[in-house]
């Protein structure tokens, strides 16, 4: 299949695949909000409903109203975050696998997303790609960003759908084939990022021991390649508002809000970081734009 490049004046399109409602707001939200405001069509596809999520906001812990219907709460929160970011949104329709804890780890629940065969789980995403015709697809790396079974499955499903959506021989009932030009892994958290910000604070005389401890949680030498840094200086407050929309999942005094936005701007770490995994067009690295080579 020949390269599919946008026609002059054609709207640029991005699809971001995430495992649960709230993941879109903690991973790549600033760049999505930026591209929406620049006129791109951005669609978040959430693989599961987050049905097995816990209440992670201590201010809401034990709220019986929330616990009585967590799936409905997660959908309401997702709709609120969607409005903040300005993105389109679709559910892939699978059931949250939960995060198994303890030793030995318990078996995953029957019928959950992580246990669905990859080709079966990828079919609705293939249909969405062929219908939405994105130029860029973002997802997690093979470790899921962190080893939650749904994040790892989201990676597998995304990579499979990226390939199969372009194959004219595969499942013609799912629509006309579409070749996504670029596939990115979201690279949101790294030792080098936290170390860089901590060094900036120490150099200016305001060391942050908690931030330095965060950096140490990432083993040395395990950072992934960053090929693309998207400036989100103007979208940090939008990102924060989207995160807070997931009130059951995000502690407003917690990890995600530890580093003030002015520090991110001053330290030049007000970026969303990505790893370009596959490109079907010519590229020049490093990049500052997920749509580089497509504009």
Residues whose CB is less than 8 angstroms from the CB of residue 249 and which lie 6 or more positions away in sequence, other chains included: 21, 22, 50, 53, 55, 56, 57, 77
CATH superfamily for domain 13-187+225-279: LmbE-like (3.40.50.10320)
- Per-residue confidence (pLDDT) for residue 235, from 0 to 100: 98
Neighbours of 73 (CB within 10 A): 23
Average pLDDT of the segment spanning 193-209: 96
Closest alpha carbon to 46 in 159, 201, 172, 153: 153
**pLDDT tens string 109-146:** 999 999 999 999 999 999 999 999 999 999 999 999 98
Q: What is the mean pLDDT of the chain?
A: 95
> With 50 as the cut, is the pLDDT of residue 91 above it?
yes
pTM of the model: 0.95
Residue 101 binned pLDDT confidence (cut-offs 50, 70, 90): confident
Q: What share of the chain is helix, strand, coil (3-state, %, to 5)?
A: 40, 15, 45
- Per-residue confidence (pLDDT) for residue 21, from 0 to 100: 97
CA-CA distance, 236 to 219, in Å (whole number)? Answer: 27
Whole-number percent of the chain with pLDDT over 70: 97
- Per-residue confidence (pLDDT) for residue 5, from 0 to 100: 65
Instruction: Tell whether residue 151 is among the known ligand binding residues.
Output: yes
Residue 207 CA neighbour count, 13 Å, CB half: 4
Instruction: Tell whether residue 89 is among the known ligand binding residues.
Output: no
Average pLDDT of the segment spanning 264-280: 98
8 A C-beta contact, residue 85 and residue 69: no
8 A C-beta contact, residue 2 and residue 177: no
Which two three-digit tokens encode residue 91? 């559910």
Domain ranges for the chain, please list them. Answer: 13-187+225-279, 190-223
**pLDDT tens string 55-77:** 999 999 889 899 889 999 999 99
Neighbours of 286 (CB within 10 A): 12
Instruction: Tell whether residue 23 is among the known ligand binding residues.
Output: yes
* Phi, psi values for residue 278, rounded to 5°: -140, 135
* Phi, psi values for residue 240, rounded to 5°: -65, -40
Residue 161 binned pLDDT confidence (cut-offs 50, 70, 90): very high
Strand ranges across the sheet with 13-18: 88-94, 41-48, 13-18, 136-139, 182-186, 271-279, 228-231
Residue 2 binned pLDDT confidence (cut-offs 50, 70, 90): very low
Residue 222 binned pLDDT confidence (cut-offs 50, 70, 90): confident
8 A C-beta contact, residue 126 and residue 108: no
Average pLDDT of the segment spanning 270-294: 98
User: Sign of torsion, CA 126 44 25 225?
Assistant: positive
């Amino acid at each position: 299949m020949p390269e599919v490049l946008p026609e002059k004046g054609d709207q640029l399109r991005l699809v971001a695949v995430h495992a649960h409602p709230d993941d879109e707001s903690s991973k790549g939200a600033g760049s999505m909000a930026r591209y929406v405001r620049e006129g791109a069509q951005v669609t978040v596809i959430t693989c599961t409903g987050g049905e097995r999520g816990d209440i992670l906001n201590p201010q809401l812990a034990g709220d019986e109203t929330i616990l009585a219907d967590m799936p409905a709460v997660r959908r309401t929160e997702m709709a609120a975050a969607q409005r903040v970011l300005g993105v389109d949104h679709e559910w892939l329709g699978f059931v949250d696998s939960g995060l198994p804890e303890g030793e030995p780890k318990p078996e995953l629940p029957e019928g959950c997303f992580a246990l669905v065969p990859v080709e079966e789980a990828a079919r609705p995403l293939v249909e969405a790609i062929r219908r939405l015709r994105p130029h860029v697809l973002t997802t997690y790396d093979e470790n899921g960003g962190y080893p939650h079974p749904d994040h790892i499955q989201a990676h597998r499903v995304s990579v499979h759908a990226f390939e199969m959506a372009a194959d004219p021989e595969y499942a013609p009932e799912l629509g006309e084939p579409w070749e996504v030009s670029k596939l990115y892994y979201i690279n949101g958290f790294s030792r080098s990022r936290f170390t860089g910000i901590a060094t900036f604070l120490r150099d200016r005389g305001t060391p942050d021991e908690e931030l330095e401890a965060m950096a140490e949680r990432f083993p040395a030498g395990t950072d992934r390649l960053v090929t693309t840094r998207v400036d989100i200086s103007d979208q940090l407050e939008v990102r924060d508002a989207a995160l807070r929309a997931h009130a059951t999942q995000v502690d407003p005094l917690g990890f995600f809000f530890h580093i003030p936005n002015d520090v991110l701007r001053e330290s030049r770490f007000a970026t969303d970081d990505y790893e370009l995994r596959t490109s079907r067009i010519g590229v020049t690295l490093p990049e500052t734009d997920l749509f580089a080579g497509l504009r």
